Structure 1
Amino acid sequence: MHQSHNIAWDSLTSNLTFIAENPALTPRRTDFFPRGLPSQANSLNHFARTVATTIRTFSDTERAKYPTKFDAPVEGKLFPDSILKLNRALDRVGGANTVVDLADVVKVLLAENQLDQLLMLAHHPSIPLVHLHRLSGGHGFGWERVIDAYIFFNVLLSKPELHADGWYKSMQSYKYMLINSTDYDAWTFPHCKFFFGVVDSGGNRESADPLADFNKLHEHLKMCFQLLYRYDMLARECGVDLDWESEVAATVGWMWKVKLGGST
């Protein structure tokens, strides 16, 4: 599992059990379910803290690589030509035509590790990056899907008995995670090449086999983690202090109905 020396994955995985067609539910559902152990609350809170601490540590290390101050251009091109080639959404943001276009730009630059450009935007008086954190239009806008995939696949790696014959594909949380990670261009950028071998979102979800190549999966998890700490760095540059413990709680809550407060 990724960052296993820093993140207490066992504190989460030991509290989950796989049940096929759970008879306690109507309709029945196949997935991981909380075991309801007496230690659940403490274990899951510990897990969330280690995720938050690890993201913040890497975020601090990444920020230290760049100057403390950035001078934003007030005229001329906002992005150099080499950056404009990355994604067509960048062409639409001269003075930020729409916040959705700007959100697309941020995702592309995060994925391409163009952090100097993002730090410049964070200090630009005409670019409202701070307003993008909770931008929504009926969907999440990207980074939430990264933490979903990051947690899901790390937990799945701890359950090798589900790898054979594609058992994991019957899990409701897998189906939701796959749909949420690949249903719109803006946030499919980091995921579609991994799932489908292509950058756009035109892949066949039924044919996706994320466990076919474990080296590729580990690289994907590494990339997801990079996106999380890069995003944390950028958010803090904009004055937004992310509550990663709450984000982790929300993720395990919607995927597996586990509450870090102790109830299930």
Structure 2
Amino acid sequence: MSLGIVFLSEVFGTAMLTLLGCGVVANVALKGTKGNNGGFLMVTWGWGIAVFSGVYVAAMSGAHLNPAVTFGLLLNRKTEYAPGVPVDVASTLTYFGGELLGAFLGAVVMWLAYKQHFDASDTEPASQLAVFSTGPAIRSVPWNLITEIVGTFVLVFVILTFGGTPSGLGPLAVALLVVGIGVSLGGPTGYAINPARDLGPRIAHALLPMKGKGSSDWSYSWIPVVGPLVGGGLAGLVAAVVPIIATAAA
């Protein structure tokens, strides 16, 4: 498989992820929508369905949709990211680039769908940013970072342990895993668990012309990037060791 196909697959898959994922947040957070005040459970299920859809769209490339997943596979010492896609510097950067661009584009399309609600005079800047990116319930750098590390570790470790890749595990299983992480571990930070999912839409928020737009909160932006990468990397390392321990114990 060419890296061009991998790139486009990840772009379209991750765009679908953020279009639907950020879309459900917009439906809940923005005033005047049909789903306004639908609650956090609605958001978690919406993100689960967003992952389900994105995995199908990007199945050809293994449907990483997430640099933390790609990084976890890299540290897990996999030889291929997907059938016919060797693990090397070029393919790793291709996945990262496709995931970030797709996340940005999906957020832009979501904004177009909800533009009238973003333009409403009573839409608060904090609500606008919350549609695009995550933020902490209690701001604390070390604890917010730990939350993102733990949540992403669970995501990538389960994927690596039971499926090898998201497409191998199955779209529905990954979707339910994301819902589970959201309802269990999403309270403190909004569970980015994906650097592209947070950074791409945050860049879109910074660039798009929105009335009454506030800060994009760049001082926090590194946490949902570094935390998931650390969590995904740790999951890749631990998942590589588990079979060795099991074999030794047997």
Place the TM-score, normalised by the shorter chain, in its bin.
0.3 to 0.5
Larger-Rg structure: 1
TM-score (norm 1): 0.34
More helix by share: 2
